[in-house]
């Protein structure tokens, strides 16, 4: 495949932003979610392919749900593994005693470095925020851990990212043939074969005295073309179900500066406020094996959880094979300088203010390694008139047009899969030195060498 896109002829380059930053506004969500149970599905939810009603729903609202798309027995080995993980053992959760599942975060350590390889910047251990680091200021963000533990608007949440690059888990979820069939039926090919997903996100029930759950609507502002959530356990109404704002992609899409990389404008902020005020969100309820397929720019939130079960969902990103540019890198601050994010054309611009030495290439560079698609799209063209211009939506038959594009960590020879003594479900991409991914051109400019499309030339 030869290069067809002239990126420099496209729109201007937007200011760089932190790859971990979601897009939202200060406006509080106003509407109460509607619980979307199977009786509300349009015809076709129980089978592969798309009915006319489902196509219309995706066109107008930006989502479609398929029931029992993956046999629930498929998830058995991962449930077993789930109960053995450090956040579960630390809080002494017992599968046979639901009362032990409540607010486990009471027993979690403030910082954890569970299931990590000892390969920070190639040799040292993964540091805690208190550790001195030669590539960053003390206390700088360390990057994603295999087990991200937080308390989100009332509920404790465990994002088990480390399972997201387990090959067997990926085959059972994102690369499941029925899932890939639906991706191609909706988005169209060539579909980029998923090599990882974000892992299992578990939302725990809370103690009666804990604060009520609230919604936290946002959109992820990455290159994801389809956001997909699979339940590996049943989710009843008001039990933390993945919650989306129907029609939000349709409203946000025309406000982006670009068609393929979401670049927010003032209009995006206004639209986000409108969505949070006026649109009734829907909560995806269902059984293990049910899957919701959404447009990638959907406004979403973890659901309100008043139940007594653990909500276990697999969060996934899908993309077409496209020409891409470099990854969404971010460099830690050093010598008193601030964090610097890489721009869309692969430039880190480091200022000598605050006494920083811009030519110092031994600084920690990380990316959002939980993503399967971590590279900007090369084309910076403006949005299409029709948001679904390039989509299939049942127009062409599914031909299994799935391409085994090398994942970004292979393109850049980065460590991701667990090495050494890391238990299954661990590992992740540590920091690498800036000088290993970029060249210094003087005047504070570091230019990243893109490896994104090398595989196409072969």
Minimum Å distance from CB 33 to Fe ion? 16
CB atoms within 10 A of CB 170: 21
Using CA atoms, how far apart are residues 414 and 403, in angstroms rounded to an integer? 21
Using CA atoms, how far apart are residues 325 and 163, in angstroms rounded to an integer? 27
Q: Which backbone phi and psi does 286 adopt, to 5 degrees? A: 175, -165
Minimum Å distance from CB 353 to Fe ion? 33
The residue among 220 and 317 lying less far from Fe ion, judged by its C-beta, is 220
The tokens describing 167, both together, are: 């090959």
Q: Which backbone phi and psi does 180 adopt, to 5 degrees? A: -65, -35
* Using rule CB under 5 A, residue 317 touches Fe ion: no
The residue among 163 and 298 lying less far from Fe ion, judged by its C-beta, is 298
Minimum Å distance from CB 296 to Fe ion? 11
The tokens describing 130, both together, are: 């208190």
For the four alpha carbons of 317, 236, 47 and 247, in that order, the dihedral sign comes to negative
Map the footprint of Fe ion across residues 192-231, applying CB under 5 A: 220
> Looking at the DSSP assignment, which residues form a beta bridge with residue 320?
191
The CB-side HSE value for 354 (13 A sphere, CA atoms) comes to 12
Cβ 70 vs Cβ 289: under 8 Å: yes
The residue among 157 and 183 lying less far from Fe ion, judged by its C-beta, is 157
Using CA atoms, how far apart are residues 277 and 29, in angstroms rounded to an integer? 6
The residue among 216 and 423 lying less far from Fe ion, judged by its C-beta, is 216
The residue among 53 and 152 lying less far from Fe ion, judged by its C-beta, is 152
The residue among 220 and 405 lying less far from Fe ion, judged by its C-beta, is 220
For the four alpha carbons of 403, 404, 410 and 416, in that order, the dihedral sign comes to positive
Cβ 48 vs Cβ 181: under 8 Å: yes
Q: Select the residue whose beta carbon is closest to Fe ion and give its number.
A: 220
CB atoms within 10 A of CB 106: 11
Name the nearest CA neighbour of 375 among 316, 320, 445: 320
Minimum Å distance from CB 263 to Fe ion? 18
Minimum Å distance from CB 219 to Fe ion? 7
The residue among 279 and 378 lying less far from Fe ion, judged by its C-beta, is 279
Q: Which backbone phi and psi does 44 adopt, to 5 degrees? A: 115, -10
The residue among 220 and 283 lying less far from Fe ion, judged by its C-beta, is 220
- Counting residues that bind Fe ion (by CB under 5 A) gives 1
The residue among 220 and 364 lying less far from Fe ion, judged by its C-beta, is 220
The secondary structure element, H or E, covering residue 56 is: helix 52-61
The residue among 141 and 287 lying less far from Fe ion, judged by its C-beta, is 141
Using CA atoms, how far apart are residues 111 and 373, in angstroms rounded to an integer? 28
Minimum Å distance from CB 292 to Fe ion? 14
Minimum Å distance from CB 198 to Fe ion? 9
Minimum Å distance from CB 78 to Fe ion? 22
Minimum Å distance from CB 262 to Fe ion? 13
The tokens describing 249, both together, are: 């992609």
CB atoms within 10 A of CB 365: 27
Minimum Å distance from CB 220 to Fe ion? 5
- Give the footprint of Fe ion on this chain (CB under 5 A): 220
């Amino acid at each position: 495949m030869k290069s067809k896109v002239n990126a420099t002829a496209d729109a201007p380059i937007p200011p760089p932003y932190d790859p971990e930053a979601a897009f939202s506004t200060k406006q509080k969500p106003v509407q109460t979610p509607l619980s979307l149970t199977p009786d509300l599905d349009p015809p076709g939810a129980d089978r592969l392919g798309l009915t006319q009603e489902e196509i219309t729903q995706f066109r107008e609202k930006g989502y479609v749900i398929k029931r029992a798309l993956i046999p629930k027995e498929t998830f058995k080995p991962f449930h077993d593994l789930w109960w053995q993980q450090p956040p579960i053992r630390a809080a002494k959760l017992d599968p046979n005693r639901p009362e032990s599942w409540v607010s486990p975060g009471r027993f979690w350590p403030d910082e954890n470095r569970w299931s990590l390889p000892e390969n920070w910047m190639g040799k040292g251990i993964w540091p805690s925020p208190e550790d001195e680091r030669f590539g960053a200021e003390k206390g700088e963000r360390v990057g994603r851990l295999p087990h991200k533990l937080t308390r989100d608007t009332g509920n404790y949440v465990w994002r088990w990212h480390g399972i997201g690059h387990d090959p067997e888990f990926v085959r059972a979820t994102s690369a499941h043939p029925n899932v890939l069939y639906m991706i191609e039926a909706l988005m169209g090919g060539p579909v980029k074969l998923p090599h990882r997903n974000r892992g299992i996100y578990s939302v725990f029930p809370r103690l009666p005295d804990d604060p009520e759950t609230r919604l936290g609507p946002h959109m992820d502002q990455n290159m994801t073309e389809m956001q997909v959530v699979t339940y590996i356990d049943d989710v009843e109404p008001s039990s933390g179900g993945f919650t989306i704002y129907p029609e939000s992609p349709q409203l946000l899409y025309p406000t982006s500066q670009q068609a393929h990389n979401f670049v927010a404008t003032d209009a995006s902020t206004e639209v986000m406020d409108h969505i949070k005020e006026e649109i009734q969100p829907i909560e995806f309820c269902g059984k293990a094996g049910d899957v919701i397929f959404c447009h990638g720019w959907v406004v979403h939130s973890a659901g309100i959880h008043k139940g007594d079960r653990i909500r276990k969902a697999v969060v996934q990103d899908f993309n077409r094979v496209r020409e891409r540019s470099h990854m969404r890198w971010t460099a830690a601050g050093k010598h008193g300088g601030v964090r610097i994010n890489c721009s869309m054309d692969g430039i880190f611009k480091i200022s000598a203010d605050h006494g920083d030495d811009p030519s110092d290439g031994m600084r920690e560079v990380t990316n959002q390694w939980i993503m399967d698609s971590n590279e900007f799209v090369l084309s910076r063209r403006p949005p299409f008139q029709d948001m679904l211009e390039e989509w299939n939506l049942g127009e062409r038959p599914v031909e299994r047009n799935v391409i085994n594009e090398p994942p970004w960590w292979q393109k850049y020879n980065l460590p991701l899969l667990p090495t050494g003594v890391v238990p299954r479900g661990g590992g992740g991409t540590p920091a690498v030195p800036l000088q290993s991914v970029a060249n210094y051109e003087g005047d504070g400019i570091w230019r990243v060498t893109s490896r994104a499309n090398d595989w196409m030339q072969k």
